[in-house]
Amino acid sequence: MVPPSAIETITEPVTQTNAYLRLHPAGTGNYTDFSSGNNYKREKEEQGGDGVKPASYPNYLPTWDPKQKYPPLEHFEHYEHGKEADPSFPNLLPSGTRITDLTPTTGTEVDGIQLSSLSDAGKDELARFVAERKVVAFRNQDFAGLPIDQALEYGGYFGRHHVHPTSGSPADHPEIHLVHRAAGDELLNTLLDTRTSSVAWHSDVTYEQQPPGTTFLYILDSPDTGGDTLFANTAEAYNRLSPGFQERLHGLKAVHSGVEQVNNSLKRGGVNRRDPVINEHPIVRTHPVTGEKALFVNPNFTREIVGYKKEESDAILKFLYDHIAYGADFHVRIKWAKGTVVVWDNRVTQHTALLDWKNGQRRHLARITPQAERPYETPFRA
C-alpha cells in the first residue's frame, strides 16, 4: 500500500504536545545552510557551454514555485516494513552479491543487485538491512534514470513522502528534495573565508512530528573527487555513554524547530511551502525494528531540553553534539560515483555533506524522504 502524499490533507489528527521554545525566541537558533538556493542560471545548466557540461538529468533541475502552499501535516499511521523482513536477506542479497562492510558497526557497500527490481519482500529486507547497518551505498544502480513518478512510487512503499518546506524540487514533483550546486558556483571559493569547516551534522527535518525513516539519496552529477558525505551512527554513540549518563538522558525531551530554516529561506528570497513547526522528541529514541536506542538531537534543529535552564540545556546538548561529531570510530565516509544510491535510516544516523572541491564542478543529488513513526523511547535497561 502506497501511503498518502504529504501534499494532501490527511486523516487521524492526534493530540499535540504544545511544544514551544522557552529559552530561544522563535527563529534565533543556530541553523547552518550552505546551499546555493535559487541563485543559478537554468539555461546554462541545461545547455552547458564555456567548458561546462550540461546537467545529466535536466528533469531534476530545481525549481521553487511560490504557488506551492500546503496545509499542516497531520498524523498518519506508519507501517514499518522492516519488522516483517527475513533477517538472512535472501531477496535483497542473493548469492553472488558483492557486500563490503565499510566499518565494523557502520556502513556497507553493495554491488550486483538492482534496487528498482526488488520484490516487496526485498524492500522489506532493505528496510531491515539499512536499520542494522545504518547506511548502505548501492553501486551501479539505474535509479536516476527512472521516471520521477516511478521513483516516487518506489519510495512511497517505505512511508508517506515528506515535502520539504523550502528546498528546490523538480517541476511538479515537490516530494523530491534536491541537493544542487551548479557548475561554476562560486560560493565554495568564499565559504572558508568565514568558517573553518563545511561540516554541519544533522538528521533530516527532525522538527516534524514524524521525522523520516528509510531515506534514499541518489547521485545525478558529482565532482571528479570531493563532495563526499559523512554519516554518524547515533545508536553506537548512545552505546558509548556510561550507564549512568544513559539513564540520566532517559525521560528527557528536546525541542526541535523548523522556524530558522524557513526564516533563512525567506531571507534569501526562497519559498515557504508550509508553516514551520516546533515539536518535542525524546533525546533517546528506540528503533522499532532493531530495538536499539539512539541519540536523537542535532545542532541544526534541536534548540533546548524541556524543563532545563539555558546553561544546563546548552551544556548537555553541546556534549552530545560534540560526542557525535568527534566519534570518528562510529563514522563512515561515503564516496559518490555514477549510479550510486545511498540508503540510510534517519532514526539512527546523522550526516553532513563535505564541500571540499574548488574546481567549480556540479554536484547534484535527489532525495526521497519517507516519513516514519513519531519518535518514542522505551525504558532504560543497564
Decide if 164 is catalytic.
no
361/274 Cα distance (integer angstroms) = 32
Residue 26, all three cell numbers: 522563535
Longest Cα separation, the chain: 62
Using an 8 Å Cβ cutoff, are 258 and 205 in contact? yes
Decide if 204 is catalytic.
yes
For 94-250, where are the alpha helices, taking DSSP H only?
120-133, 148-155, 187-194, 234-239, 243-249
326/80 Cα distance (integer angstroms) = 31
Using an 8 Å Cβ cutoff, are 162 and 76 in contact? no
Decide if 329 is catalytic.
no
Cα 348–Cα 204–Cα 111 angle in degrees, nearest 5: 65
Beta strands, E only, the chain: 98-101, 108-111, 135-138, 176-181, 214-221, 229-233, 253-257, 278-282, 284-286, 293-295, 302-305, 331-334, 341-345, 349-353, 363-368
Catalytic residue among 124, 204, 221, 345: 204
Residue 42, all three cell numbers: 537554468
Residue at grid coordinates 563512515: 332
Residue 62 CA to chain centroid, in angstroms?
Answer: 18
Catalytic residue among 22, 139, 202, 248: 202
Instruction: Give the three-state DSSP class for 186.
Output: coil
Q: Is 308 exposed, middle or buried (0-12, 13-18, 19+ CB in 10 A)?
A: middle
Phi, psi at residue 24, to the nearest 5°? -125, 110
Using an 8 Å Cβ cutoff, are 292 and 286 in contact? yes
Using an 8 Å Cβ cutoff, are 295 and 237 in contact? yes
Q: Pairing state of beta strands 176-181 and 214-221?
A: unpaired
Decide if 367 is catalytic.
yes
Catalytic residue among 285, 351, 362, 364: 351
Phi, psi at residue 306, to the nearest 5°? -60, 130
Catalytic residue among 331, 347, 362, 367: 367
Catalytic (active-site) positions: 202, 204, 351, 367
